[in-house]
Structures are given as C-alpha cells and as structure tokens.
Amino acid sequence: MDTDVKKEEKASKEKEKAPACKEANVKNEKKTFNKEKNNSAGKKKQFKEKEKTSTWQQKKSDFENMSVEEKRVHYRCGRDYVILKSISSWPDYVEEKYPKFVKKESVTEDDVLNKVSLWRGDITRLEIDAIVNAAHTRLLSGGGVDGCIHRAAGKCLYEECYTLNGCETGNAKITSGYKLPAKYVIHTVGPMEENKLLLKSCYESCLSIVKEKKLESVAFCCISTEIYGYPIENATDVALMTVKDWLENNKSWAGRIIFCVFSKDELHVYEKKMFKYFPLTKKTNEQMNVDNDGSRAEMDTGSKSNDKDETRRPTLINKIETSEALTNELSMVKGKTCETNILKEKGNKRLVSGDPRETSTKKYLRTFKETDEKSELTNENPLEKEDGRQHNNMDMTSGQEFTNKNSPEEGHGGESVVTEAASVKMTDA
C-alpha cells in the first residue's frame, strides 16, 4: 500500500516537471535558432563591410570559395531559390503531368531523356551550376532576361562583363554568378533575325563551356525569342535539336540540361516540341487500365457522359504520336464531350431563354471549362476569355502563382516578387 502511494506521488511530481522540461527545450531551440540567425546575419554584415573595399575579382573568388549554405545568405532572391533535385527530369515531368505516356522500355539511366528537363519560372532562382543569359554583343546588361540576371547577380557581374570585350553573335563567354544562386552565368549572343546556324552556334558554344568547365547542370532561357524576335517555334526546334545532338555525341556527360521557359505560350511550344525530340511511348490500354467501355478515358477528359461515342477515345489515344497530335485529338474529344453533354441536357431540343434546363447546361459548360483549365494541353484556356485574366503565372515547381514583372505578359524588366509558400518548399527541400 505504502509503495503504491509513493509511486503515485512520484508520478505526479514527474508530471509537474514535464511541462517545465518542454518549456526549457523550446527555449533552447529558440536560442540555437537565434544564434544561427545572428551568425548568418553577422556574416552577411561582415561581407557587406568587406564588399565596400574589395574589387570584383576578390568578390568573385570569395563567392566561388563559399559553401552553398554560406552563399545562400547572399542570394538576391532570398529563400526563393530552386534546387536541382526539385526539378523533374523530362520523363518524370511527363509522368506527373500526362500519365498517358510512359518511359520507353529501352531507357537506361544515362539515356538523353533523363538528362533534360522542362521548367517554367524565373531563371535567376535556379541553384545550379550555370544559367545561360541571352545577352547583347557588348555584354553590358540590357532588358529582358539579361536585365533580370544582372539585377539578381549584383554590380560585380557588370564589372566582370566589362572586362570581357564583348562577345560575337553565336559565341558564348562565362562569368561568375555572384549573388545569383547559380555558380556561373554563360552569356551568349543570339541572332537578331532568324538565322538557324547562328542560333545553333549559341547553344553549341554554351555546351562547349559546360563541358570544358566540367559543369553538371545548366539552364537555357529561350535565346533570341523576345527582344530579338526569333519566332519561338523555329527557335525551339533549333534549341532542342542542337541539345539532343550534343547529348548524343557526349554520352559520358552525366548532367542535366534545363530548358527554362518563362511564359505560358513558351511552355506550350516547348512541351509540344519536347515530345517530338525526346519522345516517350504511350501507355497501352492495359497499362492505362482502360475498361472496354472506355470509362478510364472519360476520367481523363473530365466527362461523366456515357455517350457511345466516348468509347472511341482509347482508340483515339492509341493513334496519338506526338504531343501536338495529342493536343489536337484531345481538344477534339473534349469538344465532342462538351457538345454531347449539352445535347443530352437539351434532350436534343433547342433551349429557349429562361428554360430551367438552361442552368444545368451552363453547369455542364462550367465543368468543362474548369476541367480544361487544369489541362495545359489546349492552347486556349476558356477561363482566360471568361474573366479576362491571364492565368499564366503559375510556378510549376511550387504550384504557386508568382508575380514576376518580367513576365512578357506583364511587360519586360522589373523585380521578382517571391511567394512565401515557394520559399518554404525550397528551404525544406
């Protein structure tokens, strides 16, 4: 009996102690966090002081000798950087976005398919070995992506570029990345008019530097396609073909080449062309788990209709060879689905205004539009028309909207405004 009482007393004492322990732990954690914060703030302050007196050469060597963690404190984009691991390889991207496609059985780890990525966002956020700048022959900063890169890297980039004596069209030169998350910037000068050979030479010159400097990751923006006016479709053909050839001729290079697109239109073009130059096979009906009545296919297009025509869809999908075809076929199927639903609702009769069935027809139309918004496959997003807004600022890595004033739709030049959610994701990664 006595021992029981003692035990109870001991337990209740420990219970009383527990919250105190917890509090102490939290306090300790806060202390360490603050200490670390002060440390990095202190280092940043020290660096800023030193910066005032040191030359760009000294800063170049300081930045290049810093560990990634040390350099992160200095990024202009703050915590909104994007690490390589968070960028899917092309086959993974397709698998995530278009489950109808499957990696070719013949794909090995060193296959070129695994060495390319398509990523939409601000190139100045990429924490990789090198980013490619679409520069001017003088290399002294300009508008577009060039301006963004110079702003994010800081004035040392300008100072280093100043010593390079410019760069000829079709050539490339490398500098340090300074306050950019990327270690290096490869500056290339694209042609001012459509010139396949010169544009090809831009990509090849950059890739020669990549190889020479033993870099393992590089991101290309779309060279010449905006201010220099090279038609995006043709420029993309040159970019993808050149990179593919280079990868096939340099099989021992085990890195990643990222095609960084900025606008929604560029993304559409690149997706379409990537399927052409870096093709993946389509899943069979069996792999897709398609029922004979095509119910799985209905799920893919977001329709709930059981209309007989829908059963044709798996066959349609089997016929698809490229994303271009996929886009056309799917919009056709979607058009059909939508039309079918409306007809069903209408009972094949014309609706007069005010007819109670009109509401449900509108509902069907809305469902169709919402489904269509989720799909990036069709070139025209009906929602854009509906509310007059451009839904083109979605960051594909974080799924968050970003407000980069450099987005061509919003005008050229300006600062990146980061989203908190994206920052959290990146630092956690």
State both tokens at 220: 């290309």
Which residue among 22, 39, 46, 143 contacts ligand AR6 (CB under 6 A)? 143
Q: Which residue from 165, 119, 195, 187 is spatially nearest to 402, judged by alpha carbons?
A: 119
Count interface residues toward ligand AR6 (CB under 6 A): 27
**Minimum distance, C-beta of residue 424 to ligand AR6, in the bound complex (Å):** 22
β-sheet bridge partners, residue 172: 188
List, in sequence order, the alpha helices (H) in 213-356.
232-249, 264-277, 285-288, 295-301, 313-319, 323-346
Q: Which residue has the tokens 């270690």?
A: 183
- Comparing CB distances to ligand AR6, the nearer of 134 and 422 is 134
Q: How far is CA 338 from CA 215, 313, 369, 372, in A?
A: 50, 14, 9, 11
- In sequence order, the 6+-apart residues with CB closer than 8 A to the CB of 280 are 90, 91, 94, 101, 102, 103, 104, 113
Q: Is 187 in the site for ligand AR6 (CB under 6 A)?
A: no
Q: Is 172 in the site for ligand AR6 (CB under 6 A)?
A: no
Q: Which residue from 180, 195, 94, 113 is spatially nearest to 145, judged by alpha carbons?
A: 180
Encode burial over 340-358: b for 16+ CB neighbours within 10 A, e otherwise. bbbeebeeeeeeeeeeeee
Nearest position to ligand AR6, beta carbon: 144
Segment near ligand AR6 (CB under 6 A); pick from 32-40, 41-49, 144-152, 338-346? 144-152
Among positions 240-299, residues that touch ligand AR6 (CB under 6 A) are 260, 262-263, 266
**Minimum distance, C-beta of residue 398 to ligand AR6, in the bound complex (Å):** 15
Q: Is 124 in the site for ligand AR6 (CB under 6 A)?
A: yes
Q: Is 392 in the site for ligand AR6 (CB under 6 A)?
A: no
Which residue among 127, 129, 204, 226 contacts ligand AR6 (CB under 6 A)? 226
User: What distance lies between CA 85 and its chain's CA centroid?
Assistant: 12
Q: Is 278 left (phi over 0), alpha (psi -120 to 50) or beta?
A: beta
- Comparing CB distances to ligand AR6, the nearer of 194 and 307 is 194
- Comparing CB distances to ligand AR6, the nearer of 260 and 297 is 260
Which residue among 127, 146, 271, 310 contacts ligand AR6 (CB under 6 A)? 146
Which residue among 202, 222, 269, 377 contacts ligand AR6 (CB under 6 A)? 222
Which residue among 81, 90, 144, 310 contacts ligand AR6 (CB under 6 A)? 144
Q: Which residue from 103, 117, 121, 14 is spatially nearest to 282, judged by alpha carbons?
A: 103
Which residue among 119, 220, 228, 259 contacts ligand AR6 (CB under 6 A)? 228
State both tokens at 92: 């993974």
User: What distance lies between CA 47 and its chain's CA centroid?
Assistant: 32
**Minimum distance, C-beta of residue 261 to ligand AR6, in the bound complex (Å):** 7
Which residue among 375, 408, 415, 423 contacts ligand AR6 (CB under 6 A)? 408
Segment near ligand AR6 (CB under 6 A); pick from 74-82, 117-125, 280-288, 318-326? 117-125
Q: Which residues bind ligand AR6 (CB under 6 A)?
A: 122-124, 134-136, 142-146, 148, 190, 221-228, 260, 262-263, 266, 406, 408
